[in-house]
Chains A and B, each alone.
Chain A
Amino acid sequence: MPFIEFLFKPKNELEKGGRQSAEVASADENEPSKPCPNCRKMVPLSQLWANHNTCECGYHFRMNARQRINFICDQDTFEEWDGGLASRDVLGFPGYTAKLENTRNASSETEAVVCGRTKIGGVDCCIFIMEPYFMMGSMGTVVGEKITRTFEQATKLGLPVVGYTVSGGARMQEGILSLMQMAKTSGAVRRHSEAGLFYLTVITDPTTGGVTASFAMEGDIILAEPGALIGFAGPRVIEQTVRKKLPAGFQKAEFVMEHGFVDAIVPRNIQKETVTKLLKMHSGGEKVG
């Protein structure tokens, strides 16, 4: 999709015009619409939904986990696993219980990841989709456990895993136990890989911290959505540390691909097709076990 590259030049948030909230053009009618942070036009919601939450300029708006399921899974094939697993305030962290309750109400999810089994383009697979509207997809013990179980089930069933990541990193409110989830999930990914099974990552905006430094970067093939922020440290922390202006497009998917850490950038209009093709290409061979 070269024209998308031409139209859409993502900026890092500290760049001029990188995070503009003031929109220019107004909507044509009275139709409900929302401003595009990239081209700053008002995008009618109906148009947004018809285009999988993307603007015609190429900007990809965030999607919640259920929207993703509708977008990527074949209709009525998604079977959810461990939907009842919910975090508790294990360490007695101030304000965490209230925060969990608020975020559950706001997102209608019990946790920051939705896992299960599904078909994509007719191919049987396991899937995990992180939820940006649940504490910014932060990884606590339940997120780690659900993703680990998904890989364990997939290993048992001999199925590939498709993982959609979006995360601010490890969840502070679960302290050191959150950090340990990086090792736990990585161990499960490793075992799945050793069984000769395929793991496809799709990195979406934003994926940072402990998730980047574990299962997001462990896929056999790593795809990213256009303009997604992908990094270990956040841009602000880096700017404060190095006291220098960040390079153009710093930590955006295109920049990360240029530096060799992402296989391909796949916009949503060809995403399902691409994921399907990759799954099919990995399901041809004979598998032992």
Chain B
Amino acid sequence: MAKGPVKAYDRVKSARQNGRPTGVDYIEHMFTDFIELHGDRAYADDKAIVGGIALLDSRPVTVIAIEKGRTSKERVAHNFGAPHPEGYRKALRLMRQAEKFGRPVICLVDTSGAYCGIGAEERGEGQAIAECITGMMALKTPAISILIGEGGSGGALALAVADRVWMLENAVYSVISPEGCASILWKDASKAEEAAESLKLTAQDALALGVIEDIIPEQELGKDTFYDKLRVKISRELRELSSLEIQELSRRRFERFRNLGVPETGGDA
């Protein structure tokens, strides 16, 4: 039933759907010899973020995924993919480790947002995200982030300050959930569909706004061919990014974000 464009809110539902491949599915299918590395060396190991070293086409890489879990039991264990501050601190630790050993970083982002809880606030959720953003911006090694499902606000951005950011065809990337937006602006969470449309949260919107570089088609989502194609694409991109001088890479990464949302009319100073 091909009729008209897909509604933004249908993509939101699709991005959230149980049964959609999660971070660990990508790790299992695209990489080999994955060794998970735990903990932030300060407080705890946050299972909402799974990270470690693996081989991508026989090249060592650091892979960091926000993991929602595939079964109910897993989802509880991974806190439904809502990281605490220690998750972001672990991610940053692994990124800096990657930098030291010249490994590229690949982030797989899938979260409704950083966790809203008492402990998360007490341990500095805002500070942890800020540090991760700045840390990733300054990272002296190539980084690619792929939004594979939900890209919920600052909790997603923290792992998406990369040289290349891609989104799956039905992934969404938003400053706030459509439900949250509708309830704050219109005091009515049932207007989420309208909010989803207005927030410009689809991959197509993000591409048009220059927020991402590419969209990954989903026709074969979850099949071996899907992972193969994505792996080849990552490998090719990493080769290109690795050919750049580190200074140049940093400069381009900063410029990439610097140029987002520059008003057309200049200032006066």
Chain A residues engaging chain B, CB cutoff 8 angstroms = 80-88, 90-95, 116, 140-142, 144-146, 148-149, 153, 170-172, 174-184, 186-191, 194, 208-210, 212-218, 230-233, 237-238, 241-242, 244, 246-247, 250-251, 259-261
Contact = CB atoms under 8 A, between A and B. Distances in A.
A172 B184 contact: yes
Contacts of A246: 118
B185 interface: yes
A176 B122 contact: no
Nearest to A247: B118
A182 B134 CA distance: 9
B117 A238 contact: yes
A237 B267 contact: no
B125 A233 contact: yes
B262 A145 contact: yes
A216 B115 CA distance: 19
Nearest to A181: B261
Contacts of B122: 259
B153 A82 contact: no
Interface stretch (B46-54, B61-69, B168-176, B234-242): B168-176
Contacts of A141: 260-263
A180 B114 contact: no
Interface stretch (B10-18, B194-202, B225-233): B194-202
Contacts of A178: 175, 261
Which 8 A-B pairs rank lowest in CB-CB distance, beginning with the nearest? A141-B261, A82-B267, A81-B269, A212-B126, A233-B116, A232-B126, A213-B129, A232-B125
Nearest to B258: A184
A44 to B, nearest CB: 35
A175 B257 contact: no
B107 to A, nearest CB: 14
A118 to B, nearest CB: 13
A246 B117 CA distance: 9
B117 to A, nearest CB: 5
Interface in B135-193: 137-138, 153-154, 157-158, 161, 173-176, 181, 184-185
Name which of A87, A153, A177 has the most chain B CB atoms within 10 A of its CB: A177
Given A81-B269, A84-B268, A85-B263, A180 B211 contact: yes
Given A172-B175, A175-B198, A190-B137, 13 more contacts: A82-B267, A88-B264, A91-B198, A170-B153, A172-B199, A176-B205, A213-B158, A232-B121, A233-B125, A237-B116, A246-B118, A259-B122, A261-B124
Contacts of B268: 81-84
Contacts of B175: 170-172, 174-176, 178-179, 210
B116 A187 contact: no
B118 A213 contact: no
B55 to A, nearest CB: 29
Interface string B91-132: 000000000000000000000001111101111111101110
Give the size range of B's interface with the partner: 35 or more
A208 to B, nearest CB: 8
Contact of A149 (B129, B173, B174, B267): B267
Interface of B: 114-118, 120-127, 129-131, 133-134, 137-138, 153-154, 157-158, 161, 173-176, 181, 184-185, 194, 198-201, 205-206, 209, 211, 254, 257-258, 260-269
A189 B257 CA distance: 13
A232 B154 contact: yes
Contact of B134 (A140, A175, A189, A238): A189
Given A82-B268, A84-B267, A186 B121 contact: no
B181 A172 contact: yes
Contacts of A170: 153-154, 175-176
A237 B121 CA distance: 12
A202 B161 CA distance: 26
Given A190-B138, A247-B118, A175 B129 contact: no
B258 A217 contact: no
Contact of A175 (B116, B120, B138, B199): B199
Contacts of A210: 153-154, 175
B257 A180 contact: yes
A190 B134 contact: yes
Nearest to A150: B269
A59 B83 CA distance: 34
Contacts of B174: 175-176, 179
